[in-house]
Amino acid sequence: MKRLFRLLLILGLAAGTWSCADDGTPSVSINGGTDFLSLDHLARSGKITVTGSLGDVMKESAQLAITYVRVHAEEYGIDPERLKKCDLHIHAPEGAVPKDGPSAGVTLTTALVSCLSGIPVRGDVAMTGEITLHGNVLPIGGLREKSMAAYREGMKTVLIPKDNVPDLYEVDDEVKKNLTFLPMSDLAQVLNAALLKPKSVSARHPHPAKKAKPVEAAIPPTPEKPKPGAVC
């Protein structure tokens, strides 16, 4: 159950769109459905609250995401001084369902940047990956299951950690035919691939985002055929 919920969180944020509720709370919805994760940012004292029965590892991922956004705020048109004074509340329903694990790190970061900058996330992209304090993307487990879920949700592109490319041989052939896997080394690449960048947004950026290194689609490795007489 925990593993499935982490997977849904990863896909939900990537497949969703950001909007503001009547009370001004930014939220993400999946395929026009109900709110899946909401972010509340109010001009107060800079307090951070994370709720939704999250385990310690996932809370740490949220904290890392917030730190990264604060450091790189100006690159995405976010006022760093205002951000310091904002109360951030991240909630992942359902509250009674325990959730944990580091693989939602890239998704939480993307969600925060999108919410605070107003830049929407592409609706055909799923993503997964652990993050570090310096914005590096680390490998995750369960790539086969996560890729299958992305395929079933109608995604076109999946952002995966670069170190997970060798694991693509485990992914079903039908899934590999219909999905493009982009290997990510750092969060700059993730945000460059996941965020839409209309011309009206770029004009607000006093400090343009660091140019991400070009990313080529990962070619799933082909398992070596056993040599004659070899034991399989």
At residue 122, the pLDDT reads: 93
- Supply 126's token pair: 């799923």
Higher pLDDT, 226 or 115: 115
Catalytic one among 27, 61, 146, 162?
A: 146
At residue 209, the pLDDT reads: 54
Q: Average pLDDT for residues 133-158, to the nearest whole number?
A: 95
Instruction: Report the run of H or E that residue 154 belongs to, with start and end.
Output: none
Question: What tens digit of pLDDT does each residue of 158-199 get?
Answer: 999 999 999 999 999 999 999 999 999 999 999 999 999 754
Q: In sequence order, which residues have a C-beta less than 8 Å from that of residue 231 and are 6 or more positions away?
A: none
Contact 140, 192 (CB under 8 A): no
Contact 13, 107 (CB under 8 A): yes
Catalytic one among 27, 103, 117, 147?
A: 103
Question: What tens digit of pLDDT does each residue of 205-226 get?
Answer: 444 555 556 566 766 554 444 4
Strands of 15-76 (E only): list them.
16-20, 26-30, 35-43, 48-51
Rounded to whole angstroms, the Cα distance separating 192 from 202 reads 13
> Domain locations in the chain?
2-202
Whole-structure pTM value: 0.73
> What is the three-class DSSP state of 112?
helix
- 146: pLDDT strictly greater than 90: yes
Domain 2-202: CATH architecture, name and number where available: 2-Layer Sandwich (3.30)
Q: For residue 156, which phi and psi values (nearest 5 degrees)? A: -110, -30
Lowest mean pLDDT among 84-88, 104-108, 110-114: 84-88
Q: Is 146 a catalytic residue?
A: yes
200 falls in which pLDDT band (50, 70, 90)? very low
Question: What tens digit of pLDDT does each residue of 15-71 get?
Answer: 333 333 334 444 443 333 334 455 555 556 677 888 888 899 999 999 999 999 999
- 155: pLDDT strictly greater than 50: yes
> What is the three-class DSSP state of 139?
coil
Q: Is 103 a catalytic residue?
A: yes
2 falls in which pLDDT band (50, 70, 90)? very low
At residue 197, the pLDDT reads: 75
Q: In sequence order, which residues have a C-beta less than 8 Å from that of residue 115 and are 6 or more positions away?
A: 18, 26, 39, 41
